Amino acid sequence: MDNAAGAVFDGVFLTARRLSEVDPALAVLLDDAELRRAAAFRAPAPRQRFLAGRILLRQHASRLAQVPPERLRADYRCSACSLADGVHGQPRYTLPASASAPALRMSLSRSGDWCLTAGSADMRLSGLGVDIEAGPLPAPDGFEEVALAPGERRLLRRMTGAQRTTATTRIWVRKEAVLKALGIGMDLDPSLVDASASVPLVPGGDWRNGQWHTRDITPGAVGLPREFTAALAVFRGSQLST
């Protein structure tokens, strides 16, 4: 695939777009629940970023399902709470005309003016997450002690300067992708997840019937500027349990 179309990694289709290029009028494609959540943003800029991201995600799902975007129903699932609003948590979309149709696993990440969306109809995929960061991670003092696992900190202690900054950014982006794949985001202490290798160490749950994998994504392959860092996390196997 060319850069404009995106790329497929591990059975997941990824593509990036500028948020500022999304037509606000396309918000008519969204569910009522999505529009209500957007209305909860008081400031116009965050509200429009939210809407643009949801529009891009729905368009991405529409291409995967090969149906018009307005036919899709948002079916988000949050593993950290019992609130069944359908629009927060791990993104999924279903076709309302067929309740037995497999849900599309989706994920998105925004940074700066860019949004990366990812999706798959692979029934073996129980978890999917992507994350991007525009430029080096702005890590404040004490960040590593609070946010990184012991193994990650040991790895970074071997590095200095730009190499360490690059590695810190890459580890954090992988970690956020894993947390999204879990469907709970920052409700889990990020220091409990070790994303220093391609197979992350994830606490809790029963992972014996499946396999975790993270992949660093070359920005240009999905249409992102070269200064970006991007990562994909997937879990294949039985339903995630945390």
Per residue of the chain (242 residues), what is the pLDDT tens digit? 333 468 999 999 999 999 999 999 999 999 888 898 899 999 999 999 999 999 999 999 999 988 899 989 888 776 666 555 656 667 778 876 654 566 789 999 999 999 999 999 888 888 999 999 999 998 888 999 999 999 999 999 999 999 999 999 999 999 999 999 988 777 788 999 999 988 888 876 555 556 889 999 999 999 999 999 999 999 987 655 54
Residue 156 lies in a domain: yes
Q: Cα–Cα distances in Å, from 117 out to 31, 131, 218?
A: 18, 9, 14
- CATH at 89: 3.90.470.20
Alpha helices in the chain (DSSP H): 32-39, 44-65, 143-147, 150-156, 161-182
Cβ atoms 129, 176 nearer than 8 A: yes
Does the pTM of the predicted model rise above 0.85? yes
Please report where in the chains the tokens 């988000």 appear, as a residue: 76
Please indicate, yes or no, if residue 175 is contained in any of the structural domains: yes
How many Å apart are CA 24 and CA 131, to the nearest integer? 24
What's the structural domain count of the chain?
A: 1
Residues 240 and 125: their CA atoms lie apart, in Å, by 10
Q: Tokens 């629940």 map to which residue? A: 33
Range of the domain at 39: 7-237
Q: At what angle do helices 32-39 and 44-65 cross, to 10 degrees?
A: 160
> Does some domain include residue 1?
no
* Residue 242 is assigned to a structural domain of this protein: no
pLDDT of residue 2: 33
| pLDDT value at residue 242 | 47
CB 80 within 8 A of CB 187: yes
227: in domain: yes
Kind of pairing between the strands at 7-9 and 104-111: unpaired
Q: Is residue 2 part of a domain?
A: no
The whole-angstrom separation of Cα 48 and Cα 52 is 6
Torsion of CA 52, 53, 54, 55, to 10 degrees: 50
